Amino acid sequence: MSNLDSDLLRTFLMVAATGSITEGARVIGRSQSATSLQIMRLEDVVGRPVFDRTGRGVSLSETGERLLPVAREVIGRLDGALREITSDGLRGRLRLAIPDDHGQVKLAAILGAFAQSHPQVELEVTCSISTEFPEMIAKGQLDLAVYEVETPQAFEEVIHEDPTCWVGAKHQSLLENEVMPVALFDRACWWRDAAIAALERSGRPYRIVFSSQSVAGVTAAVEAGIAIGLLGRSSISSQMQELGKKDGFGGTPVSRLVIGTSEGGDKDLVATMSEAIRMAFKS
């Protein structure tokens, strides 16, 4: 009697999720032919098609609909058991904070991987504007936080550096304006202070026409041609151009992404999470 193989169920779940054998194959890192063969093997085991083939991809057959919750439960239990068995014994609560713009996707992926590797650790995550993170660490309200600074303090470890620069829209030049329209962050932070200081040094008249709490907001204003803005070089899109000395703008500081830690946090948890974040940004 044939048995259901967990590898076949994993492939089935991914194809079901993507609605395409080609896309499912790409996600799991197999060739399309190998993925198709696995689905055929699964259908041989259950004795019926698990997908209905269409011109746009695949959809679950009646048998596939019945198999889907079973496959999810089986794979979920197997993955959970593996996490329990291979867990390094870390447990407790870790309060951490990540910014809502810089590296958000990468940091979210790190947290997801950490949660899977250390299921006994309770993560309490704050995702917001990072200007308040250093004070929260100092008050013992956070164990660890990731945020940007111009000059790191003793409790902050630099994990990434990004030069700042003035940028404007490619499709519209604002350099000839008598009064320069500027987009800035609307919270008291070193980015805003650095931008205003640079503008004052240039001696050019300026007017703040757009304020935002996030990099995404300032980016949108610049790309729309509403204003120029000070951004990290890594945030420059194909719709922007960098403005330098030839345009009347002097040097700007380097933004440093740091890990800040509290002395009161669980040292093992803080060290393990710090290493995960550190290695992700190195790669």
Q: What is the pLDDT of residue 1?
A: 53
> CA-CA distance, 91 to 120, in Å (whole number)?
5
Apex CA 107: angle with CA 94 and CA 93, to 5°? 10
Could you read off the pLDDT of 127-179 as tens digits, one per residue?
877 888 988 998 999 999 999 888 898 889 999 888 999 999 998 889 889 99
Q: Output DSSP code: residue 176.
A: T
Backbone phi, then psi, for 251, in 5-degree steps? -70, 150
Please give the domain boundaries of the chain with CATH numbers for all domains.
Answer: 6-86 (1.10.10.10), 92-159+256-282 (3.40.190.10), 161-254 (3.40.190.10)
Q: What is the pLDDT of residue 103?
A: 56
Q: Which residues contact 9 (CB under 8 A, 6 or more apart)?
A: 42, 71, 74, 75
Q: What is the pLDDT of residue 49?
A: 95
Could you read off the pLDDT of 87-112 as tens digits, one per residue?
666 889 999 998 876 556 677 778 87
Closest Cα to residue 111, out of 98, 102, 99? 98
Q: Radius of gyration (Cα) for the chain, nearest Å?
A: 25
Q: What is the pLDDT of residue 86?
A: 67
Provide the H-helix boundaries in 97-232. Answer: 104-117, 133-138, 190-202, 215-223
89 φψ region: left (φ > 0), alpha (ψ -120 to 50), beta (else): left
Q: Output DSSP code: residue 234.
A: G
Average confidence (pLDDT) per 10 residues, the chain, 283 residues:
85 92 86 93 94 87 95 87 71 87 69 80 85 89 91 88 92 90 84 89 91 87 94 89 88 90 89 88 71
E strand segments, 73-120: 92-99
